[in-house]
Protein backbone atom coordinates (compact mmCIF):
# COMPACT_ATOMS: atom_id res chain seq x y z
CA UNK A 1 0.00 0.00 0.00
CA UNK A 2 2.81 2.40 0.89
CA UNK A 3 4.57 1.73 -2.43
CA UNK A 4 1.35 2.57 -4.31
CA UNK A 5 1.06 5.77 -2.28
CA UNK A 6 4.62 6.78 -3.17
CA UNK A 7 4.02 6.05 -6.87
CA UNK A 8 0.96 8.29 -6.80
CA UNK A 9 3.02 11.01 -5.12
CA UNK A 10 5.66 10.76 -7.85
CA UNK A 11 2.99 11.15 -10.53
CA UNK A 12 1.59 14.13 -8.64
CA UNK A 13 5.06 15.70 -8.38
CA UNK A 14 5.56 15.22 -12.12
CA UNK A 15 2.24 16.95 -12.75
CA UNK A 16 3.23 19.84 -10.53
CA UNK A 17 6.42 20.29 -12.51
CA UNK A 18 4.48 20.63 -15.75
CA UNK A 19 1.72 22.83 -14.28
CA UNK A 20 3.15 25.48 -11.98
CA UNK A 21 1.02 25.89 -8.84
CA UNK A 22 -0.71 29.17 -8.09
CA UNK A 23 1.88 31.07 -6.09
CA UNK A 24 2.42 34.23 -4.10
CA UNK A 25 5.97 35.58 -4.22
CA UNK A 26 8.01 38.69 -4.96
CA UNK A 27 10.78 39.35 -7.52
CA UNK A 28 13.23 39.34 -4.60
CA UNK A 29 12.31 35.73 -3.79
CA UNK A 30 13.23 34.68 -7.32
CA UNK A 31 16.51 36.63 -7.08
CA UNK A 32 17.39 34.93 -3.78
CA UNK A 33 16.65 31.55 -5.36
CA UNK A 34 19.10 32.28 -8.18
CA UNK A 35 21.70 33.41 -5.62
CA UNK A 36 21.15 30.17 -3.73
CA UNK A 37 21.74 28.04 -6.84
CA UNK A 38 25.07 29.79 -7.45
CA UNK A 39 26.04 29.36 -3.79
CA UNK A 40 25.05 25.70 -3.49
CA UNK A 41 26.62 24.59 -6.78
CA UNK A 42 29.91 23.31 -5.27
CA UNK A 43 28.02 21.21 -2.67
CA UNK A 44 25.30 19.64 -4.85
CA UNK A 45 26.88 16.19 -4.84
CA UNK A 46 27.94 16.15 -1.19
CA UNK A 47 26.17 14.12 1.52
CA UNK A 48 22.58 14.98 2.39
CA UNK A 49 23.46 16.38 5.81
CA UNK A 50 26.15 18.61 4.27
CA UNK A 51 23.75 19.87 1.63
CA UNK A 52 21.09 20.54 4.30
CA UNK A 53 23.68 22.31 6.45
CA UNK A 54 24.89 24.55 3.64
CA UNK A 55 21.32 25.36 2.64
CA UNK A 56 20.31 26.23 6.22
CA UNK A 57 23.37 28.42 6.83
CA UNK A 58 22.68 30.30 3.58
CA UNK A 59 19.80 31.90 5.49
CA UNK A 60 21.61 32.70 8.74
CA UNK A 61 20.58 36.14 9.93
CA UNK A 62 17.41 36.30 7.84
CA UNK A 63 14.54 37.84 9.83
CA UNK A 64 11.99 35.87 11.83
CA UNK A 65 8.44 36.86 10.90
CA UNK A 66 5.40 35.09 12.32
CA UNK A 67 2.48 33.87 10.21
CA UNK A 68 4.27 34.23 6.89
CA UNK A 69 1.70 32.01 5.15
CA UNK A 70 -1.37 33.92 6.32
CA UNK A 71 -1.22 36.71 3.73
CA UNK A 72 -3.74 35.59 1.11
CA UNK A 73 -7.48 34.94 1.42
CA UNK A 74 -7.25 32.02 -0.99
CA UNK A 75 -4.99 29.13 -0.02
CA UNK A 76 -2.05 29.12 -2.41
CA UNK A 77 1.66 28.33 -2.40
CA UNK A 78 3.33 31.21 -0.56
CA UNK A 79 7.06 31.52 -1.30
CA UNK A 80 9.11 33.70 1.04
CA UNK A 81 12.91 33.44 0.97
CA UNK A 82 13.29 36.84 2.65
CA UNK A 83 11.96 35.99 6.13
CA UNK A 84 10.79 32.88 7.97
CA UNK A 85 8.80 31.45 10.81
CA UNK A 86 10.08 28.21 12.31
CA UNK A 87 8.00 25.97 10.04
CA UNK A 88 8.63 27.75 6.75
CA UNK A 89 12.36 27.73 7.48
CA UNK A 90 12.34 23.93 7.78
CA UNK A 91 10.14 23.47 4.72
CA UNK A 92 12.21 25.84 2.59
CA UNK A 93 15.53 24.25 3.51
CA UNK A 94 14.28 20.75 2.68
CA UNK A 95 12.64 21.86 -0.58
CA UNK A 96 15.77 23.72 -1.72
CA UNK A 97 18.00 20.79 -0.76
CA UNK A 98 15.87 18.39 -2.81
CA UNK A 99 15.87 20.87 -5.70
CA UNK A 100 19.65 21.22 -5.62
CA UNK A 101 19.97 17.44 -5.94
CA UNK A 102 18.27 17.50 -9.35
CA UNK A 103 20.33 17.25 -12.52
CA UNK A 104 18.87 20.55 -13.74
CA UNK A 105 17.57 22.42 -10.67
CA UNK A 106 14.93 25.02 -11.49
CA UNK A 107 12.53 27.36 -9.75
CA UNK A 108 9.56 25.26 -10.92
CA UNK A 109 11.17 22.21 -9.29
CA UNK A 110 11.52 24.16 -6.05
CA UNK A 111 7.84 25.17 -6.17
CA UNK A 112 6.79 21.56 -6.70
CA UNK A 113 8.99 20.34 -3.84
CA UNK A 114 7.72 23.03 -1.48
CA UNK A 115 4.11 22.24 -2.29
CA UNK A 116 4.68 18.50 -1.87
CA UNK A 117 6.24 19.05 1.56
CA UNK A 118 3.74 21.62 2.85
CA UNK A 119 0.43 20.06 1.79
CA UNK A 120 -1.33 16.78 2.49
CA UNK A 121 -0.60 14.44 -0.41
CA UNK A 122 1.09 17.42 -2.08
CA UNK A 123 -2.24 18.93 -3.16
CA UNK A 124 -3.55 22.41 -2.34
CA UNK A 125 -7.24 22.07 -1.56
CA UNK A 126 -8.13 24.82 0.89
CA UNK A 127 -6.77 25.86 4.26
CA UNK A 128 -7.14 22.43 5.89
CA UNK A 129 -4.99 20.76 3.21
CA UNK A 130 -1.93 22.50 4.65
CA UNK A 131 -0.05 20.36 7.19
CA UNK A 132 -0.56 22.61 10.21
CA UNK A 133 0.44 20.21 13.01
CA UNK A 134 4.07 19.07 13.15
CA UNK A 135 3.19 15.46 13.93
CA UNK A 136 0.85 15.40 10.93
CA UNK A 137 3.55 17.07 8.81
CA UNK A 138 5.99 14.31 9.78
CA UNK A 139 3.44 11.55 9.21
CA UNK A 140 2.50 12.80 5.74
CA UNK A 141 6.09 13.43 4.65
CA UNK A 142 7.13 10.04 6.00
CA UNK A 143 4.51 8.45 3.73
CA UNK A 144 6.05 10.40 0.85
CA UNK A 145 9.53 9.14 1.70
CA UNK A 146 10.93 12.56 2.60
CA UNK A 147 11.50 12.08 6.34
CA UNK A 148 11.65 9.29 8.93
CA UNK A 149 10.55 9.70 12.54
CA UNK A 150 13.42 8.09 14.48
CA UNK A 151 12.22 9.10 17.95
CA UNK A 152 11.17 5.55 18.91
CA UNK A 153 14.52 4.13 17.79
CA UNK A 154 16.24 6.62 20.09
CA UNK A 155 14.32 5.25 23.07
CA UNK A 156 11.24 7.41 22.77
CA UNK A 157 7.62 6.76 23.64
CA UNK A 158 4.20 7.44 22.13
CA UNK A 159 2.31 10.67 22.77
CA UNK A 160 -1.38 9.79 22.75
CA UNK A 161 -2.91 13.08 23.88
CA UNK A 162 -5.69 14.34 21.63
CA UNK A 163 -4.85 17.10 19.12
CA UNK A 164 -7.48 19.86 18.91
CA UNK A 165 -5.74 23.19 19.51
CA UNK A 166 -6.74 24.83 16.22
CA UNK A 167 -10.43 23.97 16.45
CA UNK A 168 -10.67 25.02 20.10
CA UNK A 169 -8.76 28.28 19.51
CA UNK A 170 -10.31 29.38 16.22
CA UNK A 171 -9.96 33.09 17.07
CA UNK A 172 -6.16 32.68 16.96
CA UNK A 173 -6.30 31.75 13.26
CA UNK A 174 -7.25 34.31 10.62
CA UNK A 175 -8.83 31.77 8.30
CA UNK A 176 -10.94 30.16 11.05
CA UNK A 177 -12.36 33.18 12.88
CA UNK A 178 -15.47 33.52 10.75
CA UNK A 179 -15.33 30.60 8.31
CA UNK A 180 -17.41 27.77 9.76
CA UNK A 181 -16.80 25.51 6.76
CA UNK A 182 -13.02 25.81 7.16
CA UNK A 183 -13.39 25.13 10.88
CA UNK A 184 -15.29 21.91 10.20
CA UNK A 185 -12.57 20.81 7.78
CA UNK A 186 -9.99 21.40 10.52
CA UNK A 187 -12.11 19.40 12.97
CA UNK A 188 -12.23 16.51 10.49
CA UNK A 189 -8.47 16.76 9.96
CA UNK A 190 -7.83 16.66 13.72
CA UNK A 191 -10.10 13.62 14.06
CA UNK A 192 -8.13 11.82 11.35
CA UNK A 193 -4.84 12.61 13.12
CA UNK A 194 -6.16 11.37 16.48
CA UNK A 195 -7.36 8.10 14.97
CA UNK A 196 -3.74 7.17 14.20
CA UNK A 197 -3.05 6.53 17.86
CA UNK A 198 -0.43 9.18 18.59
CA UNK A 199 3.15 9.81 17.50
CA UNK A 200 6.62 8.87 18.73
CA UNK A 201 8.71 11.42 20.59
CA UNK A 202 11.71 11.47 22.94
CA UNK A 203 10.87 12.65 26.50
CA UNK A 204 12.97 15.56 27.77
CA UNK A 205 14.59 13.46 30.52
CA UNK A 206 16.19 11.23 27.86
CA UNK A 207 17.51 13.87 25.47
CA UNK A 208 20.94 14.37 27.05
CA UNK A 209 21.66 10.65 27.32
CA UNK A 210 21.01 9.95 23.63
CA UNK A 211 22.16 13.27 22.15
CA UNK A 212 25.23 11.58 20.68
CA UNK A 213 22.98 9.35 18.56
CA UNK A 214 20.84 12.12 17.12
CA UNK A 215 21.95 12.94 13.56
CA UNK A 216 23.27 16.29 12.44
CA UNK A 217 20.60 18.24 10.48
CA UNK A 218 17.63 16.08 11.51
CA UNK A 219 14.32 17.91 11.76
CA UNK A 220 13.47 18.50 15.38
CA UNK A 221 10.09 19.45 16.84
CA UNK A 222 9.80 20.50 20.47
CA UNK A 223 6.79 18.69 21.91
CA UNK A 224 4.61 20.56 24.34
CA UNK A 225 2.27 20.01 27.25
CA UNK A 226 -0.07 22.73 25.98
CA UNK A 227 -3.52 21.14 25.81
CA UNK A 228 -4.43 20.04 22.29
CA UNK A 229 -1.09 20.90 20.70
CA UNK A 230 1.72 18.56 19.61
CA UNK A 231 4.75 20.87 19.22
CA UNK A 232 5.49 24.52 19.86
CA UNK A 233 8.64 25.01 17.76
CA UNK A 234 10.83 23.30 15.15
CA UNK A 235 14.23 23.52 13.49
CA UNK A 236 17.21 21.32 12.56
CA UNK A 237 19.68 19.68 14.92
CA UNK A 238 23.20 21.07 14.71
CA UNK A 239 26.19 19.05 15.90
CA UNK A 240 29.45 20.79 16.76
CA UNK A 241 32.04 18.48 18.32
CA UNK A 242 30.16 16.75 21.15
CA UNK A 243 27.46 19.44 21.55
CA UNK A 244 24.01 19.06 20.00
CA UNK A 245 22.27 22.36 19.50
CA UNK A 246 19.96 23.44 16.67
CA UNK A 247 19.55 25.95 13.84
CA UNK A 248 16.14 27.61 13.60
CA UNK A 249 14.14 30.74 12.88
CA UNK A 250 14.06 32.14 16.41
CA UNK A 251 11.26 34.40 17.63
CA UNK A 252 13.40 35.33 20.64
CA UNK A 253 16.36 36.44 18.48
CA UNK A 254 14.16 37.66 15.61
CA UNK A 255 16.32 35.91 13.03
CA UNK A 256 17.69 32.57 11.85
CA UNK A 257 20.38 31.47 14.31
CA UNK A 258 22.42 28.53 15.51
CA UNK A 259 21.24 28.43 19.09
CA UNK A 260 23.80 28.75 21.88
CA UNK A 261 21.86 26.31 24.06
CA UNK A 262 21.98 22.55 23.65
CA UNK A 263 18.75 20.85 22.62
CA UNK A 264 18.52 19.32 26.10
CA UNK A 265 19.03 22.64 27.87
CA UNK A 266 16.61 24.47 25.58
CA UNK A 267 13.83 21.98 26.25
CA UNK A 268 14.71 21.67 29.93
CA UNK A 269 14.50 25.43 30.36
CA UNK A 270 10.87 25.56 29.21
CA UNK A 271 8.21 24.25 31.54
CA UNK A 272 5.82 23.43 28.68
CA UNK A 273 8.41 21.46 26.68
CA UNK A 274 7.88 17.72 27.15
CA UNK A 275 10.55 16.44 24.75
CA UNK A 276 11.46 16.32 21.08
CA UNK A 277 10.23 14.68 17.90
CA UNK A 278 13.26 13.76 15.76
CA UNK A 279 12.84 13.11 12.03
CA UNK A 280 15.77 12.19 9.79
CA UNK A 281 15.68 13.83 6.36
CA UNK A 282 15.70 11.33 3.48
Give the pLDDT band (50/70/90) at residue 240. confident
Q: pLDDT tens digits, residue range 100-121?
A: 999 999 999 999 999 999 999 9
Confidence at residue 16, expressed as pLDDT on a 0 to 100 scale: 41
| Domain boundaries defined on the chain | 2-133, 139-281
Higher pLDDT, 77 or 5: 77
Architecture of the domain delimited by 2-133: Orthogonal Bundle (1.10)
Paired sense of beta strands 199-203 and 157-159, if any:
antiparallel
Confidence at residue 12, expressed as pLDDT on a 0 to 100 scale: 42
Give the pLDDT band (50/70/90) at residue 22. confident
Give the pLDDT band (50/70/90) at residue 20. low
Q: Count Cα atoms within 13 angstroms, Cβ side, for 238.
A: 18
Residue 11 has pLDDT above 80, yes or no: no
Q: pLDDT tens digits, residue range 50-74?
A: 999 999 999 999 999 999 999 999 9
Fold of 139-281: putative xylanase like fold (2.30.260)
Q: pLDDT tens digits, residue range 137-176?
A: 999 999 999 999 999 999 999 999 999 999 999 999 999 9
Q: pLDDT tens digits, residue range 119-128?
A: 999 999 999 9
Amino acid sequence: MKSIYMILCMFLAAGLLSAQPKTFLTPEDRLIFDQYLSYIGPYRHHSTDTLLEKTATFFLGKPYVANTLEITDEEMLVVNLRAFDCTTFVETVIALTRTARQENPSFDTFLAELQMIRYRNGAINGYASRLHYTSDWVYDNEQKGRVKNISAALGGTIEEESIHFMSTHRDAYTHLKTDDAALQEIVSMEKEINQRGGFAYLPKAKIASVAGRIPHMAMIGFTTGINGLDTSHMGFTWRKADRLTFIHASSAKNRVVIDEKTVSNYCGGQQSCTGILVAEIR
